[in-house]
A and B are shown apart, each in its own frame.
Chain A
Amino acid sequence: MNIKDELLKISSNIVIDEKKAYYKIVIEESAKIFDAANSLKNLGFDHVVSVTGVDYPDKVEVIWHVSSYSVEDLKGINLALTLPVKKPESVNQNETQGNLASKRPPVTVPSLVKIWPSASFNEREAFEMFGILFEGHPDLRYLMLPEDFYETWPMRKDFTYQRAKVFIE
C-alpha cells in the first residue's frame, strides 16, 4: 500500500516526512471531516491515540492522532487528522472578566466518536481544556477540571488565572 497516494485521495493538503515518521492530513471544512474519517477507517486506521487542540490567535486546530493495530503496513504510522476552525466573534466585548465563555465562545466541530469509540475520553478532555464542542458526542461532560474552572478553557493561550490573595507573613 502506498500511503501517500491513499491520503491524497482524501485530501490534497498533506505533509509527509517518512524519516521522522510524521504524517499529517489537513481537512479544510468541517463538513468533510466525516467522509475523511470514514475513508481513513476503511484504510485501516482503527483507533484514536489522542485528540487535542492547538490554539492560535484566530483559530483552533483540532487534531485527531490516529493509528492502526490491525494493518501491518500502518502500525508504524501516527497520522494527524487536522481540522482548523475559525474562532467565533465574542458575544459581549464589554465583559470585564477574562474567562467567561461569553467573551471566548467555544468552537464547534463534529465528534468522531461514532467512527472511533476510542476518541470518547480524549474528546472530553479537549472540550474542557480548549473549549471545543464536539457535536454528536454522546456524553460530553467535564472530565478532570473542578467546578470553578468551568468555561475557562485553561489550555488556550489567553487564559489568565487569579493568584491566591492569601499571604502568610
Chain B
Amino acid sequence: MSEKIFNIDDLQNINVEGEKYIILQIGPSHPGSGHMRIKVWLDGDIIVKVDPDIGFVHRTSEWLSERREWIKAIPIVERIMLPDTVHANLAYVLTVEKLLSIEPPPRAQYLRSLVAEINRITSHLYGIGIFGIFLGSSTVYMWAFGDREPFIDLMEMLTGARITTSYIIPGGVRWDMPNGFKERAETVLQYMERRLKDYEDIWVKNPVVQARTINVGVLKKEDAISLGVVGPNLRASGVYYDTRKHQPYAAYPNLDFEIPTMKNGDSYDRLLIRVEEIKQSIRMIRQILKDLPEGKIVADQIYNQLNPVMKKNYEEKKRVMFPAFMIHMRPPPGEATAKVEAGRGEIFFYIKSTGDKYPYRFRWVTPSFRNLPFFTHVAVGHRLADLPTIYGSIDYFPPEADR
C-alpha cells in the first residue's frame, strides 16, 4: 500500500492528465446506497485520486423551506434523511424552539429521546446491512434489514407512522405512549440482544470480514479532526465527541450512557462502533421506559391554544392536534443554531428569522455531506477493491449528502 496523502495542497498538485492513469466512473446509477458518481483515477489498480461527484439527488430542501411556512419544513427535512427521520425532525424543531423560546415538558423530552434512540438502532442496522452487501454477504444484509423491522413497528406503535413520523413538533410531541408499549419494547430489546450475539458470531468476528476491513481505510485522529468528519466515523478514530454529551438536548442530560471510542480508525473499527452504539441505545431505551415522568406532552404555550374539541381529544386519545398557531407561526427576529447527534453523525441547523411567515435563511448540514473527505483523502492509496469497503464502512447515504 502506498503512502497516504493527507495534505490538501499535495492532493491538488497530483498531475492526473495524460495517459498514465485510467479514469473509472463508478455510478451515477446507484453504486451503493443511492445515486452518486465516484470518479476514480487508477494507476494499475491503485487509487491515485478520487473525485466524488454528488448532486444527482439534490432536492433543494433549503430553497423549498425558505418559501414555505415554518411548520411545513418538517416533512421536507424528514424526506431527505430517510433512515434518520426522527433526528432531522428533532434538529429542526430544536432550532425553532430556540427562536420561539419554548421549553417542552419533561415527559415530551423523554419521549423524544426514546424515539430518537429507536431510530438510531434502525439507522445503524441499515448501515450494517449495506456494509454487508458491499462486502458480498447477502445474509447480513437480509438479517439487518429484517431486524430493523421490529424497531420500525415500535416507532409505528408510538408515532403512527413507520418512517416519516413527523412526531416532534415545536413545544412537544404529537402522541403519548400507548398502552402495552413498554412490554412490547422490552420484548424487542431482548430479541435484539440475542441477535447481536448472532451478528458477532457470523459477521463481526468472521475472519473473512476481518481480513477485508482491518487496516483498510485508516483515518488517524489528527486527520479526523482537521477534516471535520462526524459521528461514529469520528469516534472510531479515537475522538471523544458526541453531541448528546457535549451539547445536550432532549432527555440526554438525565440519562446514563457511555460514548464508545476506538483506536485504529479503520473500517473494522467503524463496524464495531456501530454494534457498541446499538448496545448503548438499548441501555438508554430501558432507562427511559423505567424513568418516564408523568405530565403533559406539550408545553403550556401550545396547550393553551388548543380549542375545546382539541382539548377533549387530547384528554381522551392523548393526541395533540395542530392549533392554528402552528401554521401562523412567526418566530421573533433572530438567529439560532442547533446540533443533534443522528445515527450517521451530527446534523447542524442554522436558521435566521426576520419575524416573517417564512424562514429568511434556512441552512442545514447533514452528516453524510461532512463525511465526504473519506472519498477524497482516505481512499487514496488503496486498491480499487477496497473502495466498496471504505464506502460501506462510513455508512454514506447520497440523498442525505445532497439535501
| A47 B226 Cβ-Cβ under 8 A | yes
Confirm or deny: A21 has a beta carbon within 8 angstroms of a beta carbon on chain B.
yes
Are the C-beta atoms of A121 and B337 separated by less than 8 Å?
A: no
A54, B8: Cβ atoms under 8 Å? no
Contact present for A117 and B352 (CB under 8 Å):
no
Residues of B contacting A139 with CB < 8 Å?
12
Q: Are A50 and B348 in contact (CB under 8 A)?
A: yes
- A22-B337, A118-B227, A139-B12 given as contacts; is B361 within 8 A of A76 (CB)? no
Give the Cβ gap from B32 to chain A, nearest Cβ, in Å: 18
Say yes or no: A22 contacts B234, CB within 8 Å.
no
- The range of chain A's interface size is 35 or more
Interface size on B, residues (CB 8 A): 37
Q: How many Å lie between the Cα of A20 and that of B402 in the bound state?
A: 28
Identify whether the interface residues of B are mostly helix, strand, loop, or mixed.
Answer: mixed
Among listed B162-170, B366-374, B379-387, interface-contacting one: B366-374
- For chains A and B in complex, what number of residue pairs have CB atoms within 8 angstroms? 94
Which of A28-36, A62-70, A102-110 has 4 or more CB atoms under 8 Å from chain B?
A62-70
* B363: chain A residues within 8 A (beta carbon): 50, 52
Give A contacts to B, CB under 8 Å: 20-22, 24, 46-50, 52, 54-55, 63, 65, 69-70, 75-76, 78, 80, 113, 116-118, 120-122, 129, 138-139, 143-146, 154-155
For residue A117, which residue of chain B has the nearest CB? B8
Q: Contacts A47-B225, A78-B348, A118-B228 known; A22 to B336 CB distance under 8 Å?
A: yes
What are 8 sample pairs from A and B whose C-beta atoms fall under 8 A apart? A20-B98, A49-B346, A69-B241, A70-B239, A116-B228, A121-B373, A144-B55, A145-B58
Give every chain B residue within 8 A of A113 (Cβ-Cβ). 8
Q: In whole angstroms, what is the CA distance A122 to B8 when docked? A: 15
Q: How far is the CB of B48 from chain A (nearest CB, A)?
A: 16
Q: Is the CB of A21 within 8 A of B337?
A: yes
Q: Quick check: A52 and B350 within 8 Å, CB to CB?
A: yes
Q: With contacts A47-B228, A52-B363, A138-B8 known, is A22 near B335, CB below 8 A?
A: yes
